Amino acid sequence: MSILVTGGTGLVGKALLEIKKSNNSWFFASSKDANLKNIEETEQLFEKIKPKYVIHLAASVGGLYKNLNNNLEMFEDNFDINIIVIKTCHKYGVKRAIFCLSTCVFPDNIGESITEDMLHHGPPHLSNYGYSYSKRMLQIQCQLYNEKYNTQYICIIPTNIYGENDNFTLENSHVIPGLIHQCYLAKKNNTPFIIKGTGTPLRQFLYSKDLAKAIELILYNYKATTSIIISPKEEISITTLARTIMDNFNYHNFKYDTSYSDGQHKKTNSNLKLLTHFPDFQFTNFNLGIRNTINWFIENYQICRK
């Protein structure tokens, strides 16, 4: 049985490659295998692999400031990728697939505990509404295919992902790899470690290997087709995150740059549905996950994405 993973050489794809337990035939595709915005190349990939299952991880992603400055491009790039992958799944008879959203798709200021059924209860935060709406359309498209063709297209909604093999580019990375790289350079150059914003926003951070573990569980054991949030319960402030990183580098010369936006202050996601279906699921301790990520970054500094 063949399983196609798009975005297979990225953060989550690499984690899935490392932790997967099943002995099926896995193919971890990268942009070198096909441009997923091109339907002919995408169909050639499916023709080659003939997948029974698809795990769709490929996306144009970035941190707060990339989203904020490129809302149109983020919408169009992700919309094009998603619509072509789903249409190709259908054309090649893929009945079961997992599609990756993000908790940024949820409405802004919706409340204390966000659940899966709140996805369309209001507009997303303006900082990333292009990316968010492209992911909302992906959920709608999956639902429509399930209703019309009795497919099992499942949308997972992970919170802020981090881990080994992340993108540590200073300009467009997510918050954890960005702060790790900045702290590394600050210590190397004996300059202040800059924390953008006030440091007060709260986030739930998900270790990439935990997400990979959840994906494999859902692929084989989740009987519903409704969306499912994947997130630890713990909320971490940006200041706590930055101090954890500084502790690992043993470097504490820092300052805030409050000219930068904080984005959403808080967006608390409920993992009740995940733990109801998989009550034994365990998340990696945050401090351990950060330590693993920093150690990997230092060991692979010359070759990692930065």
pLDDT digits (tens, 9 = 90+) for 149-184: 999 999 999 999 999 999 999 877 889 999 999 999
> Does the annotation mark 131 as catalytic?
yes
Domain membership of residue 256 (yes or no) is no
End-to-end CA distance of the chain: 36
Residue 266 belongs to some domain of the structure:
no
Q: Kindly provide the b/e burial profile for residues 144-176, where b requires at least 16 CB atoms within 10 angstroms of the residue's own CB.
A: ebeeeeebbbbbbbbbbbbbbbbbbbeeebbbb
**Which phi and psi (to 5°) does residue 277 adopt?**
-80, -35
Q: Six-digit token pair at 246?
A: 């500084």
Per-residue confidence band for 68, with pLDDT thresholds at 50, 70 and 90: low
Q: Judge whether 173 lies within some domain.
A: no
Q: Where are the alpha helices (DSSP H) in the chain?
A: 11-19, 39-49, 64-69, 71-91, 129-149, 175-189, 208-221, 238-249, 272-277, 286-299
Domain that includes residue 103, residue range: 2-162+204-230
Tokens of 138: 């992906």
Rounded CA separation 114/117 (Å): 8
Catalytic member of 53, 65, 92, 131: 131
Note whether residue 175 is domain-resident. no
The answer as to whether 251 is a domain residue is no
Q: Are 304 and 297 in contact (CB under 8 A)?
A: yes
Q: Give the per-residue pLDDT at 63.
A: 59
Is residue 65 predicted with pLDDT exceeding 60? no
Token pair 């590394």 is at which residue?
A: 184
Query: What mean pLDDT do residues 130-143 have?
Result: 95
Tell me if 221 is assigned to some domain. yes
Q: How far is CA 172 from CA 61, 67, 295, in A?
A: 8, 9, 21
Residue 6: CATH number of its domain: 3.40.50.720
Residue 239 lies in a domain: no
202 in helix, strand or coil?
Answer: strand
Residue 237 structure tokens = 């402030």
Structure confidence at residue 66 (pLDDT): 67
Number of domains observed in the structure of the chain: 1
Residue 124 lies in a domain: yes
